Structure 1
């Protein structure tokens, strides 16, 4: 194990870099979404039935829908505000999730907190790997799962290596963060096993931890061509 660890590439700490333009578009979308609900409430309260075109029952129903929408958004923000983070830092200590808007560490996961899967009492069958990944439905990003010790009890931690804030959701160096995460595990927790498919799915060589950017670009181009082809066929047959 020591010989294997000596042959590993040098581990360098990394901090996430936001995709400024895309994050602004995403954040402004949510602001626009909120303004639509607020505007709907103001419109129904300040307009007559002749102006709205609604009868009394329809007006009340519209108001309740707008109120429910804005209430759900406020409840979601209040529930998640303590969990929101803008930055992910991976260094020799572990992984830290930081909200740079208020300079608070939202969560700190030292390498020592990583646990083996067999420590999970609710797992009925022996898993093959401690760190696994999958792509949830309605998501563009792989979600990584692994056990961590919280108050001496093992619990599953998940991370997509994206931000959790309306204006800091997307990272420009997400692939480099995943590479640093895997290399950090190899350096500081060589007893933790990683599903090999994670390396191939993210264009990372498991021997030297180099990222194959050419392969990533080829996959993106082929995916774009495939999507254009499918849309073209749909348009052709529908038209």
Structure 2
């Protein structure tokens, strides 16, 4: 059974492209920090300026500078401890470093059933809370915590930029069906990750249709707000 289950590896973008983007962001934050520091120094040289404004410039400088420094640290820290690839096989999802050493894993046989009768064992949930939180979903499973109680766990595939995110999710779910048929998958998972429910393969057509609906919805909401603003408020 294990030998019949094929492996699937993550596909990422060109490392040079990713490095260029990351360093560009670092330079941008560093430049913003320098500009804010200059504004802060200029305000200090003018006694008539408000102290609150001085502190705002200084606070923004600290934020931009800290972000720039943190990004540099993240890029330069021990590469052996950084996840650079994912592998899905008969064990589950393996998170690998540049030497293909397993740093962490979500294994099929470590998964447990949900103790909530209203929650499936494997389900999807909004990546963020709020008004537009449902626009992106994450996959969740259940594992036992330190008290041996079922606890939901994020299947964090977004630790690296992925080109085949939905393919990986589909392959993982295929492994769940093969090795853990006792676990129940919420049917919404297939819809949220644009998977064919039978083959568990990513179908780009579903993503395109979903994006069209979301774009149209946003456009309609904007038009309604503008119409209310210019046609109704002006009459009050």
Which residue matches 2:214? Answer: 223
Normalising by structure 1, we get a TM-score of 0.67
Task: Tell me the TM-score normalized by structure 2.
Answer: 0.68
Seen in structure 2, the aligned counterparts of structure 1 residues 43 and 195 have a Cα distance that, compared at 3 Å, is: same
Write out per-residue CA displacement over residues 98-134 of structure 1, whole angstroms, 9 at most, x where no aligned residue.
Answer: 344x87644222222112223xxxxxx4344211111
> Relative contact order (alpha carbons < 8 A, sep ≥ 6): 1 or 2 greater?
1
Structure 1 residues 228 and 68: alpha-carbon distance in aligned structure 2, compared to 1, 3 A threshold = closer
Secondary structure, in 3 states, of the residue corresponding to 2:166?
helix
Q: Measured at CA, do residues 237 and 13 of structure 1 come closer, stay the same or move farther in structure 2, by a change above 3 Å?
A: same
Give the distance between the partners of 1:61 and 1:205, measured in 2 at CA. 51
Q: 1:62 aligns with which of 44, 57, 61?
A: 57
- Determine if the alignment matches structure 1 residue 142 to structure 2 residue 133: no
Return the offset for 1:173: 0.9
Q: Residue 213 of structure 1 corresponds to which residue in structure 2?
A: 204
Partner of 2:9: 15
DSSP 3-state at the match of 1:162? helix
Q: CA deviation at 1:185?
A: 0.6
Partner of 1:121: none
The alpha-carbon deviation at position 97 of structure 1 amounts to: 2.1
Of stretches 186-195 and 139-148 in structure 1, the one that deviates more from structure 2 is 139-148
Map of 2:234 onto structure 1: none
Partner Cα separation in structure 2 for residue 24 and residue 150 of structure 1: 39
Partner residue in 1 for 2:32? 36
Q: Aligned pair 1:115/2:112, yes or no? A: yes
Matched residue, 2:91: 93
Q: For 1:76 and 1:215, how far apart are their aligned partners in 2?
A: 35
Q: Offset of 1:58 from its aligned partner?
A: 3.5
DSSP 3-state at the match of 1:115: coil
Indicate the SS of the match to 1:41: helix
1:16–1:87 contact (8 Å) kept in structure 2: yes
